[in-house]
Amino acid sequence: MHKFNLSQMEKIKQTKVKAMLITKPIGSIVNVKGWVRTKRGNKNVAFIALNDGSVIHNIQIVVDVLNFDEETLRLITTGSCISVNGLLVESQGQGQTVEIQAKEIELYGTADPETYPLQKKGHSLEFLREIAHLRPRTNTFGAVLRIRHAMAFAIHKYFNDNGFYYLHAPIITGSDAEGAGAMFRVTTLDPKLPPLKEDGAIDYEQDFFGKPTNLTVSGQLEGELGALALSLVYTFGPTFRAENSNTARHLAEFWMIEPEMAFYDINDNMDLAEDCLKYFICYALDNCYDDLEFLNKMYDNGLIERLKSIIDNTFVRLSYTEAITILENSQNKFEFPVKWGIDLQSEHERYLVEKHFKKPVILTGYPKEIKAFYMKQNEDGKTVRAMDVLFPQIGEVIGGSQREENYDKLYSRVKELNIPEKDLWWYLDTRKYGTAPHSGFGLGFERLILFVTGMGNIRDVIPFPRTPQNAEF
RNA sequence: UCCUUCUUAGCUCAGUUGGUUAGAGCAUCUGACUGUUAAUCAGAGGGUCGCUGGUUCAAGUCCAGCAGAGGGAGCCA
């Protein structure tokens, strides 16, 4: 009856725990494989909580100790990996509906309890960041990673279902003109002995691409090229910013979704932003409820309520000028004084979203001086058709605009801001040949995940975060 | 990068005005228990108090520098 020789263990098709837990206990022999969360019991019976990551719940393995080799059972500890053949039965205990009466157990890998860092007990998120190679095995990170996957899938589904084409913008870029922040240099030159020109400067003509190149800070400009051919496109890929930012909302490597739409004005752009955000949150509630319930219970009692309120409420749409008036008339003491023309600080954005309106806000019509060169200029000569979508807790989740499609107006901004024209000739060409009104925005994927999971730190919603002074794992 | 708080056992933390042998809970190990739910009960082991230097008869405790982490801010998504 009891066997431990690998070759003797009967081959039975594996069932994922997720499916197992909703299978009727008709007394069939099943196989599950996974990692041990806890083992408890006495001389006669042992209970193993087994998890394979397919779902947040564990399946309970009941082991009749007398039928198994003592040494093998001793090695089944928290963190070890096993395969179990057994009988799926109705559970005699409370807390689960089905359980598996073990017939055969194969031990794939032990985990020395003296050194295995994950305990049955909860750990701080800071500690788990130091063992990011093992934290996917925790309930919290299992939940976050499953939700992250579901959100990535929902994004592709939403855009595909709405007639968008997925455009792959390049990761390596030769233009430094996006203006979205400091960049990471990409080079194959020897850092100790780079080839030099006669004047002592580094000779990038000898570099791999024949010119200085960097990792992308945005796929937007290429996205516009796609939109002015396919009408509706979106990019979804990694993005890199070499800023020395050390906050709970910033990563050096993050993922961004950038839809770009021909024939959309700023209002169409806002409609799309609001609709897609609601769709994503709705998708999470419909498909990740177990994981959300866990996070709601363990980290953030208001999470599910807050997600539902996003779906139920119309986002407030407000001009920058109106926002300034509200802030000026508020009794709130701000650290940074409010005046038309300033860039809004996070205390201002939080006041609008969390105190004044208590729902998401889309701000438009910013002063052109504080926004990027490519944004469409309004008739007033002072403002541009920018839009920022502000969410409670996390602030700016989307930044976008209608784009300036008029060649002369765009060109004059390029000149005014001393942007190197030679790097942008191809971008300017789109306004020369068959230009069209168009719009787009950037949605920070991790910021969306922050909001959907209720996690407080962006380092906890990406498997292996890259931040200043940290590229471990 | 700036402001601020922190760093003591594997983890989470306590440690008084500087004072003699640095504690707790959990985890681990050993034992008990015939169905447990982060099992329970009893016992045991486990420490270069982040690093370097200084003040002092005496430093986990005070001072300086460095490193790392948390929170806030800026930059942004």
pLDDT averaged per 10 residues in sequence order, chain A, 473 residues: 53 94 88 94 92 95 92 92 94 90 94 90 90 94 96 98 97 75 89 91 94 92 96 96 89 96 97 97 97 93 93 95 93 88 92 92 94 94 95 91 96 90 91 97 95 94 91 86
| Residue A421: predicted pLDDT | 86
CA of A369 to C1' of B64 (A): 45
- CA-CA-CA-CA torsion sign (A449, A454, A456, A462): negative
Task: Confirm if A361 and A322 have CB atoms less than 8 A apart.
Answer: no
| Residue A163: predicted pLDDT | 98
| Residue A28: predicted pLDDT | 87
| Residue A334: predicted pLDDT | 87
Nearest-angstrom CA–CA distance, A191 and A359: 50
This complex has an ipTM of: 0.90
Strand B proximity: list residues 30-89 of A with CB under 7 Å: 38, 40-45, 47, 49, 60, 62, 77-78
Q: Which nucleotide is nearest to A256 (CA to C1')?
A: B77
Rg of chain A taking only CA atoms, in angstroms: 27
Q: Which nucleotides on strand B sit less than 7 A from a protein beta carbon?
A: 1-2, 10-13, 26-29, 32-39, 68-77
| Residue A420: predicted pLDDT | 84
CA of A232 to C1' of B72 (A): 40
Nearest-angstrom CA–CA distance, A425 and A78: 60
| Residue A191: predicted pLDDT | 86
| Residue A4: predicted pLDDT | 47
Task: Tell which residue, A39, A30, A130, has the closest CA to residue A79.
Answer: A39
Nearest-angstrom CA–CA distance, A336 and A338: 6
Judge if pTM exceeds 0.80: yes
